[in-house]
Structures are given as structure tokens and as C-alpha cells.
Amino acid sequence: MSDVLQQALALLKDVTPLDTDCGNVCDGRCCRPSADSVGMLLLPGEENLLSGEGFTITPADGGDLLTCNGNCRREMRPFACRVFPLFPYVGEDGLVRAVYDPRSFRLCPLTRNCAHVRLKPDFVRAVRKAGTLLMSDPACAAFLRAQSREIDELSRLLPFLENERPPIARRKLR
């Protein structure tokens, strides 16, 4: 595993979307096997870190797909779980921004209520910083770019998220 990947994972080690455990709101939906969750796509090289953790890793379109039994050692959770429900999106200008991942829409109440629930700025910033760091690794950069184009496609189906894209600039609940 590259140093860059290790550093990106470390940036996201302790940050969380909210001050409180958001799993209390939804009973940890993103960790429960469900029809809405097909698994987590791993970054290139990440599979080497996670072998021996009891995960199932299978090749899929776009990269290796990890599935779990709903439990993991927190310090070993994959990148996709660390940034959820955001994604380090690479724009056509090459800059990385943290955006709501439209693929989280069905699963995550934070995404569905993004107009009213403000995510913690340190979490949002860590997602962006981790993405910027990963852009220095050619394989990870290609992965982030490909995923960002997929997000572009899906965002066309969810224009409300397109309008709400910057999670850090959320207006407070009135």
C-alpha cells in the first residue's frame, strides 16, 4: 500500500459527520446489509491492507468491491466508509471538493436532509484533503476521476443534490 493511501486513511481516522453518533438516528443503516447497499468500492491498493480482516473482496466494475457482515474494527474500516456519505469529487478543473455522494441518497438520512443538517466542517475538510492527497497517486487519481464522472451522471437524476453540492456551506436549520 502506498504512503499516500495510508496518509489519506489516517486523515479520516477520527473525524465523523456529526458531533453525535449519526448511527443513532438510523440504527447504523450504512453498516447493515441491505438491498440498498451493494458493498464498498476500494481504492486501488486498499485491498492489500484489508486482507485478514474478515471482509469479502471481489472484483467489480470500477475496482474491488468489499462486503462485510456489519462489524469491523473501526481503525480498519475502508476509505469508502470513512468518507460516507460524502465523496472527494474531482471537478473538470482538477480540483477536489467534498460532495454528497448521490449513491448514499437512498441509504443515508444525512444526505436526504442535507438542506437542514450541517455536517462537521472538520469532517468535510478531511474528505477534501484526503482526496487532494490521493490525487498525487496516479492509480488513485484515475479512480477518483472515474467515480466523479459517475457522480456527475447520477447527479443529473438527483438535481436537488446538484444544487446542494457544497456540504460545508450548509445553512443552519431554522
Q: Which range touches ligand SF4 (CB under 6 A), out of 78-86, 95-103, 147-155, 158-166? A: 78-86
How many Å from the N-terminal Cα to the C-terminal Cα in the chain?
A: 45
Using CB under 6 A, which of 1, 45, 109, 146 touches ligand SF4?
Answer: 109
SS3 123: helix
Beta bridge partners of 40: 66
The distance of closest approach from Cβ of residue 70 to ligand SF4 in the complex, given in angstroms and rounded to an integer, is 5
User: Is 81 a residue that touches ligand SF4 (CB under 6 A)?
Assistant: yes
The distance of closest approach from Cβ of residue 19 to ligand SF4 in the complex, given in angstroms and rounded to an integer, is 12
The distance of closest approach from Cβ of residue 88 to ligand SF4 in the complex, given in angstroms and rounded to an integer, is 16
H/E segment holding residue 139: helix 138-157
CB neighbours of residue 11 within 10 Å: 19
Give, as ranges, the residues between 15 and 44 that touch ligand SF4 (CB under 6 A).
17, 22-23, 25-26, 28-31
The distance of closest approach from Cβ of residue 138 to ligand SF4 in the complex, given in angstroms and rounded to an integer, is 26
Q: Which residues would be at the binding site for ligand SF4 (CB under 6 A)?
A: 17, 22-23, 25-26, 28-31, 68, 70-72, 77-78, 81, 84-85, 107-110
